[in-house]
Amino acid sequence: MPEVPDLEAIRSFFNRQIVGQSITSVEIPIPVPIRVPRDDFVRLLTGDTFGEVRRYGKFLLFALASGRLLVINPMLTGRFAYVQPPARKRSRTCLIIGLDSGNEIRYADLRLMGRIYLTTPEGLQTLPQFPEMGPDVLSPELTEAAFRQRLLHHRGQIKSILTNHRFVAGIGNAYSDEILWEARIHPYRKRTQLSDEEMSALYRATHSVIDWATAIVSEKMRDSIDYAEWRDHLRVHRRGGEPCPRCGATISEITAGQRVTSFCRRCQP
């Protein structure tokens, strides 16, 4: 699943490539993810011009000169490409946007779980999930005090809280493991068991991990976004059975509810 470092890299790539480009054609080979009537979607997008691309949580927001927003939530398997028309199409390519530069933006989704909307800034709050989200994980408003205050409103296991979009928008399964490893907190600890020092460590780890990973992924995707997601740099997630890079103990891996959790039992007691 694309998470904030991946989506930040994609956002930056598009801001370098498509701002000021006009849309010359819109094709919808598979309409399932598109939550606007096909004819309206094609009519309203064609001839419009891209402005800045922003991100909130796991949503990408493509500003358009008309004032509308093309909003894409790629969910689990949504993938982007920016290519010339002859390039081979991914399996289950759902949307192809032709640009006046001759390039195409493509969106493919193997499980057809993503969602694509065409709305206005005012209409964002009517989109499913959008009004429920907490502050974006990179928002300047998410100070340590705000982070700790929001934590106090949630109970349960700390990993489940981190990945809950109502708490903070943008943290997914992979980076929650990395954040908790960095903070030395066991993923199945109850929030009520965390000390003040641990909550502060969790806040610092959230920012340090996201910033560290975003720089790596952005460099990897500088010239191409044709990746599922970039995970080679991760230190603990999906590293079950390997030595912990901090203490050398074997990394544990537990699968529950179709979600893999990876952690070091020695570093994260």
Domains of the chain listed by start with CATH number? 4-132 (3.20.190.10), 144-264 (1.10.8.50)
**Active-site annotation holds for 235:** no
Q: What percent of the chain has pLDDT over 70?
A: 99
Name the catalytic one among 155, 166, 259, 265.
259
Is pLDDT of 228 > 80? Answer: no
**Active-site annotation holds for 159:** no
Name the catalytic one among 2, 33, 135, 187.
2
**Active-site annotation holds for 58:** yes
29-59 residue pLDDT tens: 999 999 999 999 999 999 999 999 999 999 9
151-169 residue pLDDT tens: 999 999 999 999 999 999 9
Residues facing residue 120 across a β-bridge: none
In contact, 182 and 217? CB cutoff 8 Å: no
Name the catalytic one among 55, 58, 68, 79.
58
pTM above the 0.85 mark?
yes
Query: What is the reported pLDDT for 217?
Result: 94
